[in-house]
Amino acid sequence: MISTSLAARTAPQSSLRLPSPTQFPAYARAVNALPVLSQEQETLLAKAWRDHGDRNAAAQLVLAHLRQVVKVVRDHAGYGLPQADLAQEGTVGLMQAVHRFDPDRGVRLASFASHWILAAVREYIARNWRMVRLGTSSAMKKLFFGYRSAVAGLRAYGVDRDSSGFVADVAKAMELSSEQVESARAYFSSRDLSMDAQVPGAPGASMIHAGFSDVHSGGANLGATGSTPVGQTNGDRLGDPSPTPEESLIDADFASHATTALRKALVRLSCRDREILTARRLLDKPQGLVELGLKHGISAERVRQIENRAIRQLRTDMLSSATPPDTKPPGTKPPDTTLQNGVKVPPKTEPTFSKPTVCTPLVSLI
Domain ranges of the chain: 2-128, 134-222, 245-323
Averaged pLDDT of the chain: 75
At 328 the pLDDT is 52
User: Percentage of the chain with pLDDT > 90?
Assistant: 28
Confidence of residue 363 (pLDDT cuts 50, 70, 90): very low
Parallel/antiparallel/unpaired status of strands 343-345 and 338-340: antiparallel
Contact present, 272 and 306 (Cβ < 8 Å): yes
Nearest residue to 128 via CA among 100, 163, 89, 99 = 89
- How far apart (Å, rounded) are the C-alpha atoms in residues 191 and 53? 48
> Is 345 exposed, middle or buried (CB count within 10 Å of its CB: 0-12, 13-18, 19+)?
exposed
Predicted pLDDT at 79: 80
Which pLDDT score, from 0 to 100, does residue 214 have?
A: 41
Question: Cβ–Cβ contacts within 10 Å for residue 294, how many?
Answer: 13
For residue 354, CA distances in Å to 141, 268, 313, 335 come to 73, 6, 9, 21
CATH code for 245-323?
A: 1.10.10.10
pLDDT tens-digit series, residues 274-303? 899 889 988 889 899 999 989 889 999 999
More confident residue, 81 or 152: 81
- On the CB side of 213, how many CA atoms lie within 13 Å of its CA? 8
Q: Is the pLDDT of residue 245 over 50?
A: yes
Distance CA 100, CA 84 (A): 25
Which residue in 58, 89, 85, 90 sits closest to 71, CA to CA? 90
Summarize pLDDT for 162-194 with one digit per residue, the tens: 666 777 877 777 777 777 777 776 666 666 667
Nearest-angstrom CA–CA distance, 75 and 86: 11
Q: Residue 240: pLDDT band by 50, 70, 90 thresholds?
A: confident
Cα–Cα distance between 98 and 59 in angstroms, integer?
A: 9
The pLDDT of residue 227 is: 47
Phi, psi values for residue 340, rounded to 5°: -135, 110
- Fold assignment, 2-128: Four Helix Bundle (Hemerythrin (Met), subunit A) (1.20.120)
Quote the pLDDT of residue 31: 92
The backbone region for 87, taken as left when phi is positive above 0, alpha when psi lies in -120 to 50, beta otherwise, is: alpha
Give residue 178's pLDDT. Answer: 76
Pick from 94, 95, 273, 14: nearest CA to 281:
273
Quickly count: other Cβ atoms within 10 Å of residue 344's Cβ: 9
Residue 85 pLDDT exceeds 90: yes
Is the pLDDT at 84 greater than 60, yes or no?
A: yes
DSSP 334: P
pTM over 0.85: no
- Average pLDDT of 319-348? 57
Cα dihedral 302/303/304/307 (nearest 10): 120
pLDDT at 8: 42
Q: Which long-range contacts (CB under 8 A, 24 or more apart) does 78-82 make?
A: 78/215, 79/125, 79/129, 79/212, 79/215, 80/129, 80/212, 80/213, 80/215, 81/124, 81/125, 81/128, 81/129, 81/212, 82/22
- Is residue 94 within 8 Å of 65, Cβ to Cβ? yes
Backbone angles phi, psi at 343, to 5 degrees: -115, 135
What confidence score (pLDDT) does residue 238 get? 72
Please tell me the predicted confidence (pLDDT) of residue 229: 53
pLDDT at 166: 76
d(CA 335, CA 345) in angstroms, rounded, equals: 10
Matching fold, domains 2-128 and 245-323: no
Does 212 have pLDDT greater than 90? no
pLDDT at position 299 is: 92
Whole-angstrom Cα distance, residue 99 to residue 46? Answer: 9
Confidence label for 266 from pLDDT (cuts 50, 70 and 90): confident
